[in-house]
Structure 1
Amino acid sequence: MTGQTDPAGASARPSREQVRRWRRHLADERAEGAVYRHLAARREGEEREILLGLADAERRHEQHWRDLLGDHAGQPGKGALRTRFLGWLARTFGGVFVLALAQRAESRSAYDADVDATDAMAADERIHGEVVRALAARGRARMSGTFRAAVFGANDGLVSNLALVLGVGATGVGSGTVLVAGVAGLLAGALSMGAGEYVSVRSQRELLAASVPNEHAQDRLPALDVDANELALVYRARGMDAAEAEEHAAAVISQVKAGQRVPAPDVERSYEEIGSGWSAALSSFCFFASGALVPILPWVLGMTGTGAVLTAAGMVGVALLCTGAVVGVLSGASALRRALRQLLIGYGAAAVTYVLGLVFGTTVV
C-alpha cells in the first residue's frame, strides 16, 4: 500500500501525514533525550549513568525516525511543548518533580498504536517508565517525611481556617471578631500540627530503632557453650528456617572459637522515608501557618462582609488546586484529578461549617 513501510523498514513514498508524524516523533525523541541529559548533568554516580543510558536509548529511537524520513528529515523540530517545558525544568531545577513528570510522559507513549514504530521501541518506552519510576522513588523516599508534613500542614491550614472564618462570619459577628478567630486558629493549629508531627515522627523512629539488633550482643559470643546455645533461635527470630538457623549458628560459633571476628548484623538504619522529628515539625508548622494565612488575608486587608467571604473562598480554592496538582505530579498520577479532589474536599468541609454558622447565628438572633 502506498505510504506504508516495507519489511526492511524503509518507505518508498511516505505520505504527508506520515512525514509530519515521523518528524513529530523525531523532535519528541530529541527533546526527551535532552531532558535525560540535563538531569544527568545535575547528578553523579549510578543515577547519572542510568540517565545517560536512557538518553542513549532515546537516541536510538531518534535514528529510527531519521532512517524512515531519509531526505524528508529536514531541520530538527522543537518537540511537543510539554516536553520542551520538561527540558527547561530539568535544566533549571532537576529533582524528583521533573522525574515524576518524565514518568508520566513515558507512560503516555503512542508507540503501541503507531504502525511505524517497532515493537522494541514500544517496549523500550514501557521500560523507560519503570526506570524513571524507580529513580523518582529514590527522590520521593528522601523527601517523603518532610513533604508529607508540608502537604498535610498546608491543606489543613487552608481548609480548617477557611472553615473557621466562614463559620464564625456566618453567625453575623463583626469583621474584627472574624479576624481574631482566624489568627487564633492559625497559631493554635500551627503549634498543634508542629507538636503532633514531632511526636509522631520521633515515636516512629524510636519504634524502628527498638527493632535494630543490639551490636554489643556480639561481644558475648565467645562465652557461648559450643554444644548448647540459643544463637540459632536468634536467627530463626530474624526469619531463617530451623535448619538454616542451626547451620548459620554453628558457622558463627566456629568463627568465634577460631578467633575470627564475626561481622555485625547488616541492618538498614536509614529512616529517610520518615524524616527527622524537627524537620517534620518545622515543615508542618510553617506550611500550616502559610495555608491558614490565606483565608484571613481579605480581613487583614480590610475587606468585610460577603466580599471578604467570596475572596477568601476563591483564594483558598486556587491554593487547594495547586497543592492537589503538586501531589498528583509527584505521585505520578493525574494532576487535574488530584487537584479537583483536593478542591471538593476543602470546599465541602468549609460549606458544612458555613451552614452551621448560619444556623447558629439565626438561633442566637
Structure 2
Amino acid sequence: MDTRERRDEAAKRAKWRRYLADERAEGAVYRQLAARREGEEREILLALAAAEQRHEAHWLALLDGDDSGIPKADLRTRILGGLAKGFGSIFVLALAQRAEGRSPYGEDPDATPAMAADERIHGEVVRGLAARGRRRLAGTFRAAVFGANDGLVSNLALVLGIGATGVANSVVLFTGIAGLLAGALSMGAGEYVSVRSSRELLEASSPDPDAEGALPDLDFDANELALVYRARGLDQSEAEERAALALAQVRSVGRAETGVIPVAGDVDDEAVGTGLAAALSSFCFFAGGALIPVLPYLFGMTGIAAVALSVGLVSIALLATGSVVGILSGASPLRRALRQLAIGLGAAAVTYVLGLAFGTSIA
C-alpha cells in the first residue's frame, strides 16, 4: 500500500470513528429522553436507541472491532445529550428532528442504503413525537411567544415614538409603564376570550351523547347513520361502510360503542389549551417583554444613550424569542431570529421617525 492509499485509509477510518461516536451519542440521547417518559413514547424512544446501536455496530465492524481513539461526538449531538439529561423537553426532540434530517449517510458509500433509509424514517418518528409535545403546549406557547413579542415591539415603538418628540424623561417612563399595563391586560383578556371561544366551538361540534343511545332503534335498512358520517366529511362510500359496521355491532350486542359518531374537524383540546393558562401566559409575557424597552428610562437614562440601550436590549430579546420559535418549529433558529429582529426593529423605526417628524430632536 503506497503513501496515498495509506492516507486515504486513515481518513476513512477517522470518518468511521466519528460516525461511531455520533451514533453512540445519539443513542444515549434517546435513552435519556426515554428515561423521562413512560408508555408508548418511552417504547418508541428505546426503539430509536436500538436502531442507533445497529448503526454503531456497522461502523464498529468496519473498524474491525477497534473502538480505540474514538473522538467526541459533534457539538450539536453533545448539546442534545446535555439538554436531554437535564431537561428532556420538547426542545430536545425539535433539535433531534433537525439532526436526523442532516444525516450524511445518503451520500456516503460506506453507509448502507438501509442505514440512510433508517435516518430518514427516524426524522419522521422524532417529528411525530415532537408534534405531540407541540400540541400539548401549543395554546399556552402561542400566547407566550406572541405576548412577549407584542410587548417588546409595541412598547419599544411607543417609547421611541414618544421619546423622539423631545418630551421629558418622566413622560417617556410613565408612557411606557402605561403601555405595559394596558397592553398586558388587553392581551390577557383577548387570549382568554379567544381560547374560551375556540373551546366552545369544539364543544358545539362534539356529538350529543344521547344520540348514540338512539342507534339501536334506527331503521337499519334506511341507514340514517351514514348521513352523520357524510356530514362529518366522509364521502358516500366510506360513510356507508362505517355506518354499516357500526350498525352491525349494534345488531350483535344491542348497543353502540362510545365514539361511533365522530367529532367534526381535526382540532383537539390539547392544541387549543385552556383559557386561564393562555391569559396568564399572555399577560405575564407581554408585561415582561414590555418592561425591557422601559428599563433604561426606569434607571434614569435619557436621550440617545437611553434609546440605544433600549434598542439593544429589545434586539437581544427578539433574537432569543425568534430562536426559540425556530427550534420548536424544526426550522433554522438563526433565520427565524433574524426575521423576528427585522420585523420588530422595522416597526419601532417607523414610530421613531414619526416622533421626530412631530416633535423636536432628542437632546
TM, length-normalised to structure 2: 0.90
Matched, 1:172 2:137: no
Distance in 1 between residues matched to 2:186 and 2:341, nearest whole Å: 24
1:274 aligns with 2:272: yes
Task: Evaluate the alpha carbon distance shift between residue 2 and residue 278 of structure 1 in structure 2; reply closer, same or farther with a 3 A threshold.
Answer: farther
TM-superposed deviation, 1:225:
6.0
3-state SS in 1 of match to 2:257: coil
Find 1:99's aligned residue among 90, 93, 96: 93
Amino acid at match of 1:361: G
Query: 2: distance between equivalents of 1:337 and 1:259?
Result: 58
Alignment of 1:70-85 (within 5 A): 70=64, 73-85=67-79
Alpha carbons 1:2, 1:14 under 8 Å: kept: no
| Separation in structure 1 between the aligned mates of residue 236 and residue 314 of structure 2, nearest angstrom | 59
d(CA) in 2 for partners of 1:30 and 1:257? Answer: 55
Moved more, 70-79 or 311-320: 70-79
1:342-353 paired onto structure 2 within 5 Å: 342-353=340-351
Aligned to 2:107: 113
Equivalent-residue separation in structure 2 for 1:205 and 1:57 (angstroms): 40
Further displaced range: 14-23 or 134-143: 14-23
> What number of residue pairs does the alignment pair up?
357
**Structure 1 residue 239, shift from structure 2 partner:** 4.0
Structure 1 248/339 Cα, relative in aligned 2: closer, same or farther at 3 Å?
closer
Residue of structure 2 equivalent to 1:41: 35
**Structure 1's 243 and 75: CA in aligned 2 closer, same or farther, altered over 3 A?**
closer
Q: 1:210 & 1:45 partners in 2: Cα distance?
A: 32
Structure 1, unpaired ranges of 5+: 5-10
Are 2:264 and 1:265 equivalent residues in the alignment? no
Task: Name the CA shift for 1:178/1:241 in 2 (closer, same or farther; >3 Å).
Answer: closer
Mapped partners of 2:299, 2:44: distance in 1: 51
Secondary structure of residue in 1 paired with 2:359: helix
1:358 aligns with 2:356: yes
Q: Counterpart of 2:316 in structure 1: which amino acid?
A: V
Question: What do the CA deviations read for 1:132-185 (whole angstroms, capped 9, x no partner)?
Answer: 111101100111111000000000000000000000000000110000000000
Report the CA distance shift for 1:90/1:244 in structure 2 as closer, same or farther (over 3 A). closer
**In the alignment, which residue of structure 2 is the partner of 1:289?**
287
Q: How do 1:222-237 residues align onto structure 2 when only pairs under 5 Å count?
A: 230-237=224-231
The amino acid across from 2:15 in the alignment is: R
Report deviation, 1:64: 1.3
From the superposition, tell whether residues 273 and 181 of structure 1 become closer, same or farther in structure 2 (CA, over 3 Å).
Answer: same
Amino acid at match of 1:314: G
How far apart, CA to CA, are the structure 1 residues paired with 2:124 and 2:256?
A: 39
Q: Is the 8 A contact 2:29 2:81 kept in 1?
A: yes
Equivalent position of 1:324 in the other structure: 322
Cα separation, partners in 2 of 1:250 and 1:70, compared to 1, 3 Å:
closer
- Please report how far the alpha carbon of residue 207 of structure 1 lies from its aligned counterpart in structure 2 after TM superposition: 1.1
Q: Percent of pairs identical after alignment?
A: 68
Change (3 A) 1:70 1:235: closer
- Secondary structure of 1:15's counterpart equals helix
1:195 aligns with 2:189: yes
Pair 1:236–1:338, CA change in 2 (3 A): closer
Alpha-carbon shift at residue 13 of structure 1 (Å): 8.9
Match of 2:128 among 120, 128, 134: 134
TM-score, length basis structure 1: 0.89
Tell me what 1:146 maps to: 140
Structure 2 residue 117 is matched with structure 1 residue 123: yes
Whether the aligned pair in 2 keeps the contact of 1:19 and 1:72 (CA below 8 Å) is no
Q: Deviations over 1:270-290 (max 9, x none)?
A: 410110111111110110000
Matched residues in 1 for 2:268 and 2:276: separation?
Answer: 16
